[in-house]
Structure 1
Amino acid sequence: MRVNSSIKARTRVAAGLTVAALATGATAGAGPATAQPKAAPAAPPAADCSAAYRIEQKLSSGTTWRMCWRYDGKAGLVLEKISYQPKGEPKPIRVLNSARLGQIHVPYDDGNIEYDDLTGFDFAQGLMNLAPSECPGGTIKTVKVPDSWNDDPNVKGLCTTTRSRGHAYRMQGDTANKVFQAEGKDLLVYTVNQVGWYEYMTEWRFQDDGAITMNVGATGSLSWDDYDAGDGRGWPIGKGASAKSTSHSHNAFWRLDFALDGSTKNRVEQYDSTVTAPVRGQRAPTTKTTRTKVGKELAGDSKNYRWWRMVSATGKNKDGHARSYEIVPGPTTKYPGRSYTKHDVYVTQYNKCELFASHNPGNCAAGAGKSVDKWVNGQALTHPVVWMNIGFHHIARDEDQQPMPVHWQGFSIAPRDVTAMNPLTPAELGWQNGHWQPRG
């Protein structure tokens, strides 16, 4: 939570925190994007950027992830030219042109204030130094941020490391003679940015099975200046009910520019399933799934038995099936108070000027609007960009002090037919693809 009595008060708190950081030798900063990567061929053997801006990690299971990074003066960390190469694939498979935050919108329940943290409240300026203990077994990269608040613009603020995520699979089969099981491994890339009393952890997890999970975690402190609960409905913090913390929402947006197999001419499909009660003679209900090709810009809503996928226009797996990535929304509390937060997913036609889901800066075309909902206006999708909106309604509790435990919000994209089989399949099971019979 943060100061909400006025914008001026919030800015003063952020500046005070920076001065305190300087006093202890920490740095924070922001500035325009640096070290712009050069254009890359469709399927590069490695991420096309200099070594200082390259992330390349081969996980113990044999999967390699490659990408470039840069630091944007408003969005913070931007990952570009992301490719995935599981064992058995002769070359990297491009997944995304770029992946980045698109906004963090924070409206308070009392209606007195709301924040657009990326474009309006110096999210990128608050990049924090990380201690080695925060990046166990990994590397902390130095981010040079022009126009920093500090004399030294160099921030040791980007962690790349690996971690286990538990079982990737387990299969015993019909007998107890053999158990196939493996632990999944992830490449973890993250930064921490301070905005007022909050510290946002922006986390990207690249799994060895090809999935990518994007999370924002909010931690830091509850603001003691915000214990008045001006709406009269805040949650009591501390002894009795004299201090009440004002509830608020965090509406986090991500912007994904897909480039499956190196092409931006991807196709969007929506799937909906309908369950019908059994009729006479049927033993169980039936389920019918229908596909809708999304040819024009979309403002979509998640619901039971609905999902979307981005389909490659050029690439197929070894079975001859078109490669695709499925969008997997995480838990969300959709905020109905603003037009741009009323939908869970937006798909827009690429426009280099459309970078933030709300309060978009820049000199876009006249009448283009400043938020993502305004950009969904019927254009044909030849280069689709996905905007994901995941909301969290924060009603504070005693346990939020002090410091505040991390509360996470996010989503995933999961490979669908990117490889012909599970990319982690043991060699002795590799023959079991499609219709098969036990060997005699």
Structure 2
Amino acid sequence: MADPSLAGLTDLSAVRERLTGSRLEVADFRFLDREPGPDAPFRAVVHDPDAYRSVEVTGRLGDLAGAAARAVQFRPLPGREEFERAVEAVRGHAEFGPLLAAGGATAYRPMPPLADVTNGDGTVDRVVTVGLRTPEDAVKHRIIGVRAKDGTVVRDPEGVPAPSARDCVTTPAADNCPSPAGGPRAVRVRVRRGTTELWDLVVNRPATSSGSYGSGVELRFVAHKGERVLYQAHAPILNVRYAGDRCGPYRDWEKEEVCFNATGSEPAGPGYRLCTSAPRTILDTGNDQGDFRGVAFFHTGSELRILSELAAGWYRYVTEWRLADDGAIRPRFGFGAVTNPCTCLSHTHHVYWRLDPDVGGTTANRVDEFNDGAGWTPIRRETQRTRDPARHRQWRVVAPASGRGYGIVPGAGDGTADAYGVADLWVLRYRGAAEIDDPRGFDTRAHIGDFVNGESVDGQDLVVWYGAHFLHDQSGPRPPSHFVGPELRPLIV
């Protein structure tokens, strides 16, 4: 099903009653049905970049004129051109321009990316942040702001890390490869061994993944040996909190692709590369350089690796899926960084995968929980759970009609949620795209629990969220791996 005319959405009377600008843009669009038909419900966000205001539009394809609109808070992330304009404004500033012109000084994309100011009359000024690294100064890092509408430099924007003598990472942001020209939003991938088709799925690159902040490499319609096992799999929520809140906390985004090394060809078009050797990201090379941005595929002989590298300010993330020939699925998320003043402070990354299972080729599934001493117990109602390593707690998704299932086995380094991490597993009734973005307001933590309202999940179309928590503390032992993620194992009950 194709999206409706995006230009048509900006012209709707419900939108024009609230937004009058000449450059309205559709910032987000999604269907709310699992299999959208000609009258499918949808939700979109229309943004006015001049007034810096947005509305959410809800309606049905068959009745666009009857769509409703309401004001929402929406702040598009700064793109490369907007950031470069901000850097030019800093170059012309009487105090900061000479610092940036000094030998070895650099400007970089910091966290947070915006430090907007709300005025007394309720209007909001968009303020793009710029990080300055001056390695020869006692203060090596400072983060300043630039007001987008007129280029005014804001010396001490609110909500950014304080000027710092720390030089946590000195690896410069390179981003030195071209963006793919054109290319498909998604590709279909098949893995065959002889005449046997092992995997059949659709892959969306991060730049086209769902959710307001993106969700990394996104899989859809995943089938193993001809049987559907997942309708959708992605990671819509990613955040980080520092000990004592010395930086952040931050809600990160997962749709900004950056360069990594991938050797191969692009038979499906730009942005999707079939590799002849294992791709290498910043976690392999230690630098931020590469020859490709998008999604790389590499078959090791026993599993298909599907991966991409992402940026969120100074963070670098590796989003990956590993599909084994025997049917096992291993979601993985890795953590790195480039030049910044914060990541040498103790902090914990939290990533939350959203898994929409169709185990046994059916949407009628249930989730069981295992604990030592109690065995397997069905989960009957929506809930959220934490890991319990002492009781070897794990979960499985089962199709009661066939007994086929997938175990959810926590990874050894996945940690257990603290108060900020909230929980480790949620079981929810399927409610489509309406429950991809959590209703968090300006809070950075995950609010998946807001979707829990006691509905039955016994033999229903359900969604499982799985959280992993990576503690990065450079004062302690080096983690054995900068990757987290569970293993989904096929089984028969």
TM-score strictly above 0.5: yes
341-350 vs 58-67, which moves further: 58-67
State how 1:118-157 maps to structure 2 within 5 Å: 118=253, 123-125=254-256, 127-133=257-263, 142-143=270-271, 156-157=293-294
What's the offset of the Cα at 1:21? 5.5
303-312 vs 254-263, which moves further: 303-312
Letter in structure 2 aligned against 1:411: P
Report the counterpart of residue 377 of structure 1 in structure 2.
453
Deviations along 1:206-225, one digit per CA (max 9) or x if unpaired, are: 0111110000011243x443
Q: In structure 2, do the counterparts of structure 1 residues 141 and 407 end up closer, same or farther at CA, with 3 Å as the change threshold?
A: farther
Report the counterpart of residue 305 of structure 1 in structure 2.
392
Deviations along 1:131-183, one digit per CA (max 9) or x if unpaired, are: 334x6x99786349xxxxxxxxxx7411111014xxxxxxxxxxxxxxxxxxx
Report the counterpart of residue 423 of structure 2 in structure 1.
343
Give, in whole Å, the separation in 2 of the partners of 1:109 and 1:324.
39
Equivalent residues of 2:350, 2:467 under 8 A apart: yes
State how 1:195-274 maps to structure 2 within 5 Å: 195-221=312-338, 223-226=339-342, 245-274=344-373
Report the counterpart of residue 158 of structure 1 in structure 2.
295
Give, in whole Å, the separation in 1 of the partners of 2:332 and 2:362.
26
State the number of aligned residues.
Answer: 305
SS at match of 1:343: coil
Give, in whole Å, the separation in 1 of the partners of 2:234 and 2:181.
18
Give, in whole Å, the separation in 2 of the partners of 1:141 and 1:192.
18
Equivalent residues of 2:319, 2:334 under 8 A apart: yes
Letter in structure 2 aligned against 1:186: E
Report the counterpart of residue 421 of structure 1 in structure 2.
none
Letter in structure 1 aligned against 2:350: N
Give, in whole Å, the separation in 2 of the partners of 1:28 and 1:359.
33
Q: In structure 2, do the counterparts of structure 1 residues 405 and 294 end up closer, same or farther at CA, with 3 Å as the change threshold?
A: closer
The alignment status of 1:12 with 2:130, answered yes or no, reads yes
Give, in whole Å, the separation in 2 of the partners of 1:192 and 1:385.
26
Percent of matched pairs sharing the same residue: 25
Equivalent residues of 2:233, 2:354 under 8 A apart: yes
Report the counterpart of residue 27 of structure 1 in structure 2.
179
Q: In structure 2, do the counterparts of structure 1 residues 12 and 335 end up closer, same or farther at CA, with 3 Å as the change threshold?
A: farther
Q: In structure 2, do the counterparts of structure 1 residues 25 and 248 end up closer, same or farther at CA, with 3 Å as the change threshold?
A: same
Equivalent residues of 2:237, 2:446 under 8 A apart: no
The alignment status of 1:417 with 2:492, answered yes or no, reads yes
Q: In structure 2, do the counterparts of structure 1 residues 357 and 412 end up closer, same or farther at CA, with 3 Å as the change threshold?
A: farther
Give, in whole Å, the separation in 1 of the partners of 2:455 and 2:322.
32
CA RMSD of aligned residues (A): 4.1
Report the counterpart of residue 407 of structure 1 in structure 2.
482
What's the offset of the Cα at 1:105? 1.1
Q: In structure 2, do the counterparts of structure 1 residues 347 and 399 end up closer, same or farther at CA, with 3 Å as the change threshold?
A: closer
State how 1:108-123 maps to structure 2 within 5 Å: 108-112=242-246, 113-118=248-253, 123=254
Equivalent residues of 1:138, 1:160 under 8 A apart: no
Letter in structure 2 aligned against 1:300: R
Q: Point out 4+ residue stretches in structure 1 off by more than 6 angstroms.
A: 137-140
Deviations along 1:64-107, one digit per CA (max 9) or x if unpaired, are: 1110122226223211000101xxxxxx0110000001211101
Deviations along 1:331-382, one digit per CA (max 9) or x if unpaired, are: 32334232xx232111111112111457489xxxxxxx98111212211112
Give, in whole Å, the separation in 1 of the partners of 2:423 and 2:396.
17
Letter in structure 1 aligned against 2:492: D
Letter in structure 2 aligned against 1:131: N
What's the offset of the Cα at 1:7? 5.2
What's the offset of the Cα at 1:61? 11
What residue ranges of structure 2 are gaps of 5+ in the alignment?
A: 1-108, 116-126, 133-142, 145-171, 273-291
Give, in whole Å, the separation in 2 of the partners of 1:208 and 1:389.
25
Equivalent residues of 2:180, 2:293 under 8 A apart: no
Q: TM-score, normalization: structure 2?
A: 0.54
Q: In structure 2, do the counterparts of structure 1 residues 407 and 383 end up closer, same or farther at CA, with 3 Å as the change threshold?
A: same
Equivalent residues of 1:105, 1:115 under 8 A apart: yes
What's the offset of the Cα at 1:199? 1.6
Equivalent residues of 1:140, 1:160 under 8 A apart: no
Equivalent residues of 1:10, 1:196 under 8 A apart: no
Report the counterpart of residue 425 of structure 1 in structure 2.
none
Letter in structure 2 aligned against 1:78: E
Give, in whole Å, the separation in 2 of the partners of 1:68 and 1:250.
28
What's the offset of the Cα at 1:324? 0.5
Equivalent residues of 2:177, 2:259 under 8 A apart: no
Greater RCO (CA < 8 Å, at least 6 residues apart):
1
What residue ranges of structure 1 are gaps of 5+ in the alignment?
A: 36-51, 86-91, 145-154, 165-184, 228-244, 275-288, 317-321, 362-368, 419-440
Letter in structure 1 aligned against 2:178: A
Give, in whole Å, the separation in 2 of the partners of 1:80 and 1:57.
15
What's the offset of the Cα at 1:28? 8.4
State how 1:327-366 maps to structure 2 within 5 Å: 327-331=408-412, 332-338=414-420, 341-352=421-432, 353-356=434-437, 359=440
Letter in structure 2 aligned against 1:65: W
